[in-house]
C-alpha cells in the first residue's frame, strides 16, 4: 500500500504563473480534497523574517507540521517548510491524504511522523510522487528526549494535559494554544499528549506546530511563537493559551487525571501509562493511573491519592495481594498532608478490603484513620470497624495506637480542648468521635464520663446537632452508659433551656425508651404537636405536662419547662397567669421559678385588662418574700385600682396613690394609668366623698389631675353627661369650684368646662337644660343654678358673669 501524496509549492522568483500551486499529486485524490487542502498548506514566515534568508536562518524558521480534519471525514498530514531564495514567504508543503477511517500504517499517532526521513522539501522529478509505504519515525522523540522535555516543562504539564483532554473530548471546547520558541517543542508537547490520551482520542486530535494566526486555525492544538501569542481569555475567544516561555503558572489544576499524568512524566516513567491502560476504568479516569503510579512509588498529591483509593474501593478484586499491599503502603505513608476527601476514600477502601485482604493490610489503613481522627481533628471521619484490628497483626496495630494516642485521647476528653482546633460548632461531633475511638481501642474513660456528657449536653443545646445526628444516635446505640448519662444530663438542664432542648429534639430523635423517666425531654418532644392546633395556651400547657408524666406537685420544675415551651419569650396574659396560679400552688411556682412570669403578666397587662388587678392581689398574697420592692409597689398600685373600683379602698385615696406611685418608680405606664384612672373614675362619681375630692383638688399633683382630665373625656363620662341632667349639674358644680386650689386644677377645670361640658350642654334641649338648672339648685343652691345660667348664656359677658357668680357661689 502506498500513501496518497501531494506537493504544494509557492511560486519561485521569475515564475510568471504566480501564486502557490500543487506541483505533484497522487492519482485518486478527489478534487474537493485538493481545494480544501490548499487552504491548509500555506505558510507565513515569522515576523521580521529576512527577505533573503541564509541557510542558517532557514533552519531557525519554524516547521508547520499539521494533522488536519477534512470535511469528508478524511485527514491530511502535512509538513510545510520555508524555502530559500529571493523573496519572502517561499515554502514547500508535502502532505499525505488519509481517507476516512484510515490512519498511518500500524495505526501509529500522526505525531510520530515528525521529522520522518520520507518527508520531501522539493517537488519530485517528473511531477509525480514516488511510492511511499510509510512515514517512519525519526529519533527526535526518543524516551530520554521526551523525559527531559517533560521535566523541563513541569510547571505547565498538568494545565496543558487538562486542556488537551478537553480538546480531544469535546469539539466545542476551547482550542489549546502552545507558545514555544521552537516548533520542535510544540511537537514534543503533542508527543507527550499522545502517550497520555486514549488511542482513539489521539487519532482524532488535530494540531499544527506553527501558525501566525491561531484564532483562525481550524486545529484543536495550535503552536505559535512568543511574538504571536494571543491575549489569554481576551479578544481571541475560544483559546486556552499556555505560554511555556514565560513565568510559571500560578495555582493548582483541579484535574486529578492531569495532575497524575504530570507527576508520571516528571518521574520519567511513561511506561506506567501503558500499565494503567490495562486496568478497568473509564477514559480519563484518574483512579487506574493513580493506582499504577502509587504502586510504582510515584509520589502523588491528596486529590490523586483519593482517586486511587476510591477506584480501588469500587474494584477491590482488580488488584492482586501484592499490588494491594503496595497501594496501602503508599496511602499510609508518613509525612504527607491529607485532606478530608482523601481520608473518606481511604475509609471506603478499608470497608471494601475488610474481610478480603489480610489483617496486616487493613490494620494499616485503620491505624491511619484513627491517627488522623485523633491528631488531625477531622470530625467527619468515622472510626473503623473493630474487625479491622482482628488477628494478631491487627491486635498489635491496636496496641500501638493505644500507646501512641491513648494519653492524647483521654486528655482531650477530660478538658474538652482539642490538640488540633476543629471546625467551630463541631464540638459534639468531635466528642462523639473520640468516645467511639476510645471504645474501639478499649481505652477506659469511665471516670471522665460525667464531665464529658455535661459538656456534650451543653454543646448540643448551644450548637445543635450540626449534622452529627446520625453518628450521635450510633454512639447512643453502641454505648449504653453514655446514652443513660447524656439523656439524664439533657433532662436535668432542659428546664433552664426548654426552647433549645425542643430545637435539639426536632433535629435529632433521641431514644426515650428504657427505664429513665426523662419528663422534661418528653415534654420538649411533645411540645410542637401540642402547639400545632393553636388555641388556648393553658390547655396546651396541660397537654405538655401530661406528656412528661409527672405532676407539678411532685416535680415542680416540669412547670418551668412547660411554661417555657408554651410561652417562650412571650409573657402570659393576666387571665392566663391567674389560671396558672389557680391550677397549681404558689409553692410549685416558687420552686419552679415561674412566679416571675406571673408578675410580668400582671405588670405588662394593658390598662383595660380587668384580670390584672385581681392577679396582683393574688401575687401579693402568694409571694410576699420573692417580689422585690419596685415590683411590689407596682402590684400595690394595681391592687389599689382593684380596691377603688370595688369600693374597698380605705380613706385617703389621693395620698395613698401618690405614695404608691413614688414607691413603685419606675412604674409601668399601664399600671400607673390603671391606678390613677381608677381614682379619677371614683372622684367623677356623684357619690364620692367630698373630703376625698377636696384632698385631690388641693394636692396640686399634675399627674393625678391630668389623669382626672383624661377620665372626664372618656366616652362613658360623655354618654352619662348627655343622658343625666343631674350628672351635668354635679360636674358643673365640681369643675367650677376651688378656683384657687392650684394651677394644675385651675387649668384642668377650665378646660373641662369649655371642652367637655359646654359642647354637651349645647346639645341638650331646653327641657334638659331646665332639668340641669333644677338639679343644680336642688343639690347646690340658687346661686349654683344662677351661676350655671350665666355660664350657659351666649356671649363673652355671660361667661365672665358666670365666672364671677361661680366664684361667689364657691366662696359663700
- For 289-317, how does the pLDDT look when each residue is reduced to its tens digit (9 = 90+)? 999 999 999 999 999 999 999 999 999 99
The mean pLDDT value for 454-474 works out to 87
CATH number listed for the domain at residues 142-251: 3.40.50
Closest CA to 466 of 427, 421, 494: 427
Whether residue 201 has pLDDT greater than 60: yes
Rg for the chain (alpha carbons), in Å? 49
As a whole number of angstroms, the distance between CA 404 and CA 473 comes to 28
Give percent of the chain above pLDDT 70: 95
pTM of the model: 0.72
In this predicted structure, the answer to whether residue 810 has a pLDDT above a threshold of 80 is: no
Has residue 13 got a pLDDT over 60?
no
C-alpha to C-alpha distances, 536 to 112, 530, 540, 575, 808, nearest whole angstrom: 87, 11, 6, 11, 61
- The answer on pLDDT for 422 being more than 70 is no
Residue 38 to residue 34: CA distance in whole angstroms: 6
Per-residue 3-state assignment (H helix, E strand, C coil) for 551-588: CCCCCCHHHHHHHHHHHCCCCCCHHHHHHHHHHCCHHH
pLDDT attached to residue 801: 38
The pLDDT of 147-176, averaged and rounded, is 91
DSSP letter for 310, please: H
- What lies within 8 Å, CB to CB, of 43 at 6+ separation is 10, 64, 80, 81, 82, 89, 91, 93
pLDDT confidence tier of residue 802, bands split at 50, 70 and 90: very low
**What's the confidence (pLDDT) of residue 804?**
46
Mean pLDDT of 73-102: 90
Predicted pLDDT at 256: 95
User: Strand pairing partners for 79?
Assistant: 65, 94
Q: How confident is the model at residue 483 (pLDDT cuts 50, 70, 90)?
A: very high
Encode 226-271 in three state secondary structure: HHHCCCCCCCCCCEEEEECCCCCCCCCCCCHHHHHHHHHHHCCCCH
* Backbone torsions φ then ψ of 68, nearest 5 degrees: -120, 145
pLDDT of residue 800: 47
* Cα–Cα distance, 456 to 320 (Å, whole number): 45
- Round to whole Å and give the CA distance between 447 and 768: 92
In this model, does residue 12 exceed pLDDT 80? no
Mean pLDDT on 258-282: 94
- What mean pLDDT, rounded, does the chain reach? 90
- Whether residue 478 is predicted with pLDDT greater than 70 in this model: the reply is yes
Sign (positive/negative) of CA torsion 796, 800, 806, 809?
A: negative
The CB density around residue 108, as the number of other CB atoms within 10 Å, is 18
Distance, CA of 183 to CA of 60 (rounded, Å): 10
Dist CA 439 CA 418 (whole Å): 18
Domain ranges in the chain are: 4-139, 142-251, 256-337, 413-548, 571-704, 713-812
Q: 419 falls in which pLDDT band (50, 70, 90)? A: low
Per-residue model confidence as pLDDT tens digits over 112-125: 999 999 999 999 98
Cα distances (Å, whole numbers) of residue 266 to 140, 260, 372, 392, 570:
19, 10, 29, 40, 69
Name the phi and psi angles at 550, rounded to 5: -135, 140
Confidence band of 233 (pLDDT split at 50, 70, 90):
low
What backbone phi and psi angles, to 5 degrees, belong to 142?
-65, 160
pLDDT tens by residue, 688-710: 999 999 999 999 899 999 999 99
Q: Which residue has the higher pLDDT, 595 or 355?
A: 595
Amino acid at each position: 500500500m502506498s500513501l496518497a501524496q501531494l506537493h504544494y509549492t509557492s511560486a519561485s522568483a521569475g515564475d510568471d504563473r504566480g501564486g502557490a500551486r500543487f506541483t505533484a499529486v497522487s492519482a485518486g485524490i478527489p478534487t474537493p480534497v485538493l481545494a480544501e487542502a490548499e487552504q491548509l498548506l500555506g505558510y507565513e514566515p515569522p515576523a521580521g523574517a529576512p527577505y533573503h534568508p541564509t541557510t542558517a536562518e532557514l533552519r531557525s524558521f519554524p516547521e508547520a507540521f499539521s494533522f488536519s480534519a477534512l470535511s469528508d471525514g478524511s485527514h491530511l498530514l502535512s509538513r510545510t517548510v520555508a524555502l530559500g531564495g529571493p523573496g519572502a514567504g517561499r515554502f514547500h508543503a508535502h502532505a499525505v491524504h488519509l481517507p476516512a477511517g484510515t490512519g498511518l500504517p500500524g495505526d501509529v499517532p500522526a505525531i510520530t511522523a515528525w521529522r520522518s526521513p520520507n518527508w520531501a522539501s522539493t517537488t519530485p522529478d517528473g511531477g509525480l510522487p514516488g511510492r511511499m509505504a510509510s512515514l517512519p519515525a525519526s529519533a527526535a522523540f526518543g524516551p530520554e528526549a521526551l523525559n527531559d522535555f517533560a521535566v523541563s516543562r513541569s510547571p505547565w504539564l498538568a494545565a496543558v494535559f487538562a486542556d488537551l483532554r478537553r480538546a480531544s473530548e469535546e469539539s466545542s471546547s476551547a482550542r489549546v494554544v502552545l507558545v514555544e520558541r521552537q516548533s520542535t517543542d510544540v511537537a514534543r508537547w503533542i508527543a507527550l499528549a499522545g502517550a497520555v490520551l486514549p488511542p482513539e482520542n489521539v487519532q482524532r486530535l488535530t494540531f499544527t506546530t506553527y501558525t501566525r494566526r491561531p484564532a483562525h486555525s481550524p486545529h484543536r492544538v495550535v503552536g505559535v511563537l512568543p511574538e504571536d501569542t494571543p491575549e489569554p481569555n481576551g479578544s481571541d475567544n475560544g483559546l486556552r493559551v499556555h505560554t511555556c516561555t514565560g513565568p510559571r503558572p500560578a495555582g493548582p489544576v483541579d484535574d486529578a487525571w492531569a495532575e497524575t499524568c504530570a507527576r508520571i512524566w516528571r518521574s520519567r516513567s511513561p511506561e506506567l501509562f501503558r500499565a494503567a491502560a490495562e486496568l478497568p476504568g473509564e477514559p480519563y479516569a484518574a483512579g487506574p493511573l493513580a493506582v499504577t503510579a502509587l504502586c510504582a512509588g510515584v509520589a502523588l498529591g491528596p486529590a490523586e491519592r483519593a482517586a486511587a483509593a476510591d477506584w480501588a474501593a469500587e474494584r477491590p478484586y482488580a488488584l492482586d495481594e501484592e499490588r494491594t499491599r503496595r497501594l496501602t503502603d503508599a496511602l499510609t505513608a508518613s509525612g504527607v498532608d491529607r485532606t478530608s476527601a482523601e481520608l473518606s476514600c481511604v475509609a471506603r477502601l478499608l470497608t471494601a478490603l475488610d474481610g478480603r485482604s489480610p489483617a496486616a493490610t487493613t490494620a494499616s489503613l485503620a491505624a491511619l484513620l484513627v491517627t488522623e481522627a485523633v491528631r488531625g481533628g477531622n470530625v467527619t471521619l468515622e472510626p473503623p470497624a473493630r474487625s479491622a484490628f482482628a488477628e494478631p497483626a491487627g491486635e498489635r496495630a491496636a496496641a500501638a495506637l493505644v500507646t501512641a494516642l491513648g494519653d492524647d485521647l483521654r486528655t482531650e476528653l477530660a478538658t474538652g480542648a482539642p490538640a488540633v482546633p476543629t471546625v467551630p460548632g463541631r464540638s459534639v461531633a468531635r466528642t462523639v468521635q473520640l468516645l467511639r475511638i476510645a471504645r474501639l481501642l478499649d481505652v477506659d474513660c469511665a471516670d471522665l464520663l460525667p464531665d464529658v456528657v455535661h459538656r456534650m449536653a451543653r454543646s448540643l443545646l448551644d450548637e445543635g446537632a450540626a449534622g452529627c445526628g446520625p453518628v450521635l444516635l450510633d454512639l447512643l446505640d453502641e454505648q449504653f452508659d453514655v446514652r443513660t448519662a447524656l439523656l439524664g444530663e439533657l433532662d436535668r438542664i432542659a428546664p433552664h433551656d426548654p426552647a433549645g432542648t425542643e430545637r435539639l429534639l426536632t433535629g435529632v430523635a433521641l431514644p426515650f425508651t428504657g427505664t429513665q423517666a426523662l419528663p422534661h425531654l418528653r415534654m420538649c418532644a411533645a411540645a410542637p404537636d401540642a402547639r400545632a392546633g393553636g388555641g388556648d395556651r393553658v390547655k396546651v400547657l396541660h397537654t405538655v405536662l401530661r406528656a412528661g408524666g409527672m405532676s407539678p406537685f411532685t416535680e415542680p420544675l416540669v412547670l418551668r419547662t412547660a411554661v417555657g415551651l408554651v410561652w417562650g419569650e412571650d409573657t402570659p396574659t393576666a387571665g392566663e397567669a391567674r389560671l396558672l396560679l389557680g391550677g397549681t400552688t404558689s409553692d410549685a411556682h416558687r420552686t419552679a421559678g415561674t412566679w416571675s412570669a406571673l408578675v410580668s403578666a400582671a405588670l405588662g397587662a394593658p390598662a383595660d385588662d380587668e384580670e390584672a388587678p385581681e392577679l396582683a392581689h393574688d401575687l401579693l398574697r402568694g409571694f410576699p418574700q420573692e417580689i422585690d420592692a419596685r415590683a411590689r409597689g407596682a402590684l400595690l398600685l394595681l391592687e389599689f385600682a382593684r380596691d377603688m373600683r370595688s369600693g374597698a379602698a380605705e380613706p385617703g385615696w389621693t395620698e395613698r396613690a401618690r405614695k404608691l406611685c413614688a414607691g413603685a418608680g419606675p412604674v409601668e405606664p399601664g399600671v400607673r394609668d390603671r391606678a390613677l384612672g381608677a381614682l379619677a373614675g371614683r372622684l367623677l362619681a356623684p357619690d364620692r366623698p367630698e373630703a376625698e375630692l377636696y384632698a385631690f383638688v388641693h394636692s396640686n399633683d399634675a399627674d393625678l389631675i391630668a389623669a382626672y382630665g383624661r377620665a372626664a373625656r372618656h366616652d362613658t363620662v360623655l354618654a352619662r353627661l348627655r343622658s343625666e341632667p343631674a350628672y351635668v349639674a354635679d360636674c358643673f358644680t365640681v369643675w367650677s369650684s376651688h378656683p384657687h386650689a392650684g394651677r394644675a386644677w385651675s387649668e384642668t377645670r377650665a378646660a373641662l368646662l369649655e371642652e367637655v361640658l359646654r359642647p354637651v350642654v349645647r346639645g341638650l334641649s331646653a327641657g334638659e337644660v331646665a332639668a340641669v338648672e333644677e338639679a343644680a339648685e336642688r343639690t347646690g343652691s340658687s346661686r349654683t343654678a344662677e351661676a350655671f345660667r350665666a355660664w350657659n348664656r351666649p356671649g363673652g359677658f355671660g361667661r365672665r358673669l358666670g365666672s364671677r357668680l361661680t366664684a361667689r357661689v364657691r366662696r359663700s
